Chain A
Amino acid sequence: MAETKLGKLADRLRTFSARPGTKIMEVCGSHTVAIRRFGVQRLLPAGVKLVSGPGCPVCVTPDLFIDEAIALARQGATITSFGDMLRVPGSRSSLERERAGGSDIRAVYSPLDALQIAATTQKETVFLAVGFETTAPVIAAAAQLAVEKKLANFSLLTSLRLVPPALKALISSDTGLSGFLLPGHVSAIIGRQAYGFLAAGRLPGVIAGFQAEDIISSLVLLLEMQNKGIYKTVNNYARVVRDQGNERSRSVLAEVFTPADAEWRGLGSIPGSGLALRPAFAALDARKRFAIHADSAPARRGCRCGDVLRGLIDPPACPLFNRSCRPDHPVGPCMVSSEGSCSAWVTYG
């Protein structure tokens, strides 16, 4: 194995002498999947553990959001959404089930497709605005376009989130983390500059891409910094991420949205970690436009998605894991989303 460049890199990680009790969080769901697809977790040296973070949009979205979307569908609106939201169980049903029951629910790949649907059907069309800094700018652009085109039947049910406030909350809640593998795509928007608070908390961070080489070399970098007591945020994904990020995307975002408190599954309410529509775009806010009668129920018993999302437990420690909760029959969102860590553990072992 060692004869290839990747093999050498893998050997370097495998034989690294790291501090015992090192716990690195991969923040982003795409990293969780990539790590397990490449089998990187089996290359970790003794004493080092990887835990999944809150960077899976489906996973951190609370049940209430799905309940609201279902209520809107039942009230007759056309619901448009990224496909991975459809299977997420709300407290009583899922959008997939509602669609089979006759509600107009459509999977789209971009909020611009949702605008198209609104323009052609003339029906009230709600887009489920879920995601992080990566998807939020496109949604903001769609909102501007809807206003520009005077699309009176288009609105957004928002549950958008920001990564840095969530990381700050995690650090302050003492989860025993030693460092962060930082998300590649989110960082392309917010830039390396957004992680200044990590150094203050004496934590190293490395912005990583999604290939095996990217992830392994970033983990080696993190372990090296930890050994040397260096607490910097290193950009190891310079082919995509700039220090300043993407200013144009951020300015579109800021024109449409303003930071607001948001509720995260597992993490509770985090100040300034969500995005609310600015007053100029209030007409696009589905919660203001409709009286939503969400039919909610108490939280599922036994599901420990919240603890998984804080890196407190590994998925197999959940009593439902791979028993009553499986990818083909998910109970919690960490099993529904292909980016969820429970799903990645089952799928890739």
Chain B
Amino acid sequence: MEKILLAHGGGGSQSAELTRRVFQRFLRDPLLLEMDDAARLPASGQVFTTDSFVVRPLFFPGGDIGRLAVCGTVNDMAVMGAEPLYLSIGFIIEEGLDIARLQKILASIAVACRQSGARIVCADTKVVEKGKADGLFINTAGIGRPAFRKPVHAGRVRPGDAVLLNGPLGLHGISVLTARGEFGLQGSIRSDVAPLWGLVRTCRALDVPFMRDPTRGGLAQTLNELAQGREFGVRIHEEELPIPKKVAAVCDLLGFDPLHVANEGKVVMVVARRDAEKALALLRRHPLGRLARRIGEITAADPGRVVMATRTGSERIVMPPAGEILPRIC
């Protein structure tokens, strides 16, 4: 009898296999099968998405499960080029949770909503017995309105397009990891969890065929999802990748690839070559994009693959992580 393993929830190849072999046997709506971060609703033209949050611990440097629950759904819409309008929120609470902690989380939900411009317009609460959930789980869903002049659609990506990133990698994953107090590490790394719509909307007049927030599975996962099965490849440059020293140090210690570590306030943007400089300038004017840079480009060589030019002047393939490197990171 096959069973669900933690690795099935990692967002990597095993998650994809579970989706294909189990979920898609029963859930086959054509909009769902497009496998985008959010569905484009044909009647209204709006986008619709949902996400659940099981992060452990509930609070970590730079954020908490509430901020994460708002940002996660807002960002899934933002990377479709859509302005987040309305959110629903559902709480599954374990008996015994301190109400003071819940209030702190709700306050941070309210702040994240203000920052993102989204409104929470419906909500639900369930309480389960002690031991049947780990403190608090949250689900959010959202509706947004496409606001980019040209469609944000990976089918429009062409060789020569620039690949941009708005800042340092790996902060969320390493923040949560160190907050758990495992490995005897102390948590001095702050998560980057942030709502991205304010940042990405600055580029709404430009030609941006693809955006994605590199969450679970990190940059490696996102770029591979972009390249897989396409007639183009992605080439990135190790020297251009902003990996903070502290993130690199923890990754070295634990044998992680920083490109596999989750982010919650980052966006990978593929921008048409002639708009790349303009996009960089616009991103850098926003507080979440001050460190934005061009990390690579779309190439006709290596179709379907992600290749990195290394600092040694050599190159290597970038693969998505196999299995679950850090369970319950979001």
Contacts and interface: CB of A to CB of B under 8 A. Distances in A.
Contacts, number: 83
Interface string A99-133: 01100000001100100000000000000000000
A188 to B, nearest CB: 14
Contacts of B255: 30, 33, 338-339
Contacts of B319: 327, 346-348
Contacts of A6: 311-313
B4 A100 contact: yes
Contacts of B135: none
A243 interface: no
A36 B14 CA distance: 24
Given A100-B3, A100-B5, A36 B322 contact: no
Nearest to B220: A347
Contact of A327 (B5, B310, B322): B322
A43 B313 CA distance: 8
A88 to B, nearest CB: 12
Given A38-B311, A110-B184, A210-B252, A348 B323 contact: no
Interface string B180-201: 0011100000000000000000
A101 B183 CA distance: 27
A68 B31 CA distance: 48
A113 B319 CA distance: 32
Interface residues of A, number: 38
A328 B322 contact: yes
Contacts of B88: none
Given A39-B312, A327-B323, A328-B322, A347 B317 contact: yes
Nearest to A34: B252
Interface in A303-349: 326-328, 338-339, 343, 346-349
Interface in B224-243: none
Q: Specify the main secondary structure of chain A where it touches its partner.
A: helix
B316 A36 contact: yes
A214 to B, nearest CB: 12
Contacts of B183: 109-110
A40 to B, nearest CB: 6
Contacts of A338: 255
Contacts of A110: 183-184
B313 A10 contact: yes
B116 to A, nearest CB: 34
Interface residues on B, range: 20 to 34
A96 B317 contact: no
B17 to A, nearest CB: 7
B134 interface: no
A291 interface: no
Contacts of A339: 255
Centre residue among B3, B182, B312 by max chain A CB count within 10 A: B312
Given A87-B323, A210-B252, A348-B319, A40 B3 contact: no
Contacts of B17: 328
Centre residue among A7, A210, A349 by max chain B CB count within 10 A: A349
B34 interface: no
A10 B314 contact: yes
A42 interface: yes
A301 B307 CA distance: 33
B167 interface: no
Interface in A173-210: 210
Nearest to B185: A109
B316 A38 contact: yes
A120 to B, nearest CB: 15
B3 A101 contact: yes
Interface in A11-44: 11, 30, 33, 36-43
A212 B4 CA distance: 39
B252 A212 contact: no
Given A37-B257, A87-B323, A328-B12, A212 B311 contact: yes
A289 interface: no
A327 B322 CA distance: 6
B245 to A, nearest CB: 13
Contact of A326 (B182, B311, B312, B322): B322
Interface string B288-330: 0000000000000000000100111111110100110000000
A11 B319 CA distance: 27
Contacts of B257: 37
Given A100-B3, A327-B323, A338-B255, A43 B312 contact: yes
A1 interface: yes
Contacts of B49: none
A293 interface: no
A280 B311 CA distance: 51
Nearest to B1: A101
B312 A96 contact: no
Contact of A43 (B184, B314, B317): B314
Centre residue among B3, B4, B184, B322 by max chain A CB count within 10 A: B322
Nearest to A109: B183
Contacts of B252: 210
A293 B184 CA distance: 35
B108 interface: no
B5 A40 contact: no
A343 B7 CA distance: 17
B202 interface: no
Interface in A38-75: 38-43
Task: Rank and list the top 9 A-B pairs by shortest CB-CB distance, nearest first.
Answer: A39-B314, A349-B317, A327-B322, A1-B313, A100-B3, A328-B13, A328-B322, A42-B314, A348-B316
Interface of B: 3-7, 12-14, 17, 182-184, 252, 255, 257, 307, 310-317, 319, 322-323
Given A10-B312, A100-B4, 20 more contacts: A1-B313, A2-B313, A6-B311, A10-B313, A33-B255, A37-B310, A38-B314, A39-B316, A42-B315, A87-B7, A87-B323, A97-B3, A97-B5, A100-B3, A100-B5, A109-B184, A216-B312, A328-B12, A328-B13, A349-B307
8 contacts: A7-B312, A38-B310, A38-B316, A100-B3, A113-B182, A210-B252, A328-B7, A348-B317
